[in-house]
Chain A
């Protein structure tokens, strides 16, 4: 299954969840938030939210700015 994680194509197992996508980038959980196709997926739902082909996953964190 192909999904876009922060704009980069990733090939994930067919049963991959949001948590699997996050783990492609980081093992950290604190200070991280995820949106799939422009909808926030709460941290508590990462394991129970499956991904679908061509999903756009955004994994964000706080950086210096403003």
Chain B
């Protein structure tokens, strides 16, 4: 291991298409709990200025799985994010955003299952309002209870390889380490830990939180993550639709680069042209 994403053991060898291009992605699907997804970009819905903007951004992103939060019903609310997802045929992934304890998260997940008819949940238990960093103790507690209750649990965690392993052993269907704090746009602050999580994981690793721009999403995939979840980077961009397109392409490019296998980093140059024979000049 000489740098990010150099282990290509799982690389596919594409046979190329009719045009002779090796896309490497034919038949390359994300599988979570037995469900297949062609897109490896999971979208959040927070931060969009309107449902219309969100709708166009989701369409441009090509996402097939998108998170929603559960909140008290507002009788005055017009339109629903659920209508947008249903019209686009996008699978809904409820989260437990806003929960500070395992008990709150378990109740929220159960309400989401009842309201939305899905036993999938992005488990999110935060420790404090300022950092929104996930609380590992409460998260693990909630994960065990939700797995026992028949949920497909996708926990949002810090970039902690030990916790990721423990959550997988507890029966979680994926692990979702952060790149950096939610909404910070700081990118992937500890790529080495993300690599360690990827190396050890037997379930999908979904990079969640902190993505600021397309290169962050590409790096996540180059590091070997199976998918990327982002919201603010798109919904708060000056042009959400354009950024959604950039993210879609970045995730594809990063996945291709991962499968292709990057060259090792070297300290010195290695000539790419044949050496000139002595006296030929």
Contacts and interface: CB of A to CB of B under 8 A. Distances in A.
Contacts of A42: 114
Contacts of B67: 65-66
Contacts of A16: none
B46 A64 contact: yes
A66 B46 contact: yes
B75 A65 contact: no
Nearest to A43: B114
Contacts of B80: 31, 61-62
B69 A64 contact: yes
A55 interface: no
Contact of B115 (A33, A38, A65): A33
Contacts, number: 96
A65 B48 CA distance: 9
B139 to A, nearest CB: 15
B97 A65 contact: yes
Interface residues of A, number: 22
Given A31-B80, A35-B107, A65 B72 contact: no
Contacts of A1: none
A14 interface: no
B interface, over-half SS:
mixed
A31 B118 CA distance: 11
A53 B81 CA distance: 34
Nearest to B124: A66
A31 B69 contact: no
Given A38-B107, A42-B114, A63 B124 contact: no
B95 interface: yes
Interface of A: 6-7, 25-26, 31-35, 38, 40, 42-43, 58-66
Given A35-B110, A64-B48, 18 more contacts: A25-B73, A33-B113, A40-B107, A40-B114, A58-B72, A62-B68, A62-B82, A63-B68, A63-B69, A64-B45, A64-B46, A64-B54, A64-B69, A65-B45, A65-B71, A66-B44, A66-B97, A66-B124
Which 8 interchain pairs have the tightest Cβ spacing? A65-B69, A33-B115, A66-B67, A33-B114, A66-B95, A33-B111, A62-B68, A64-B45
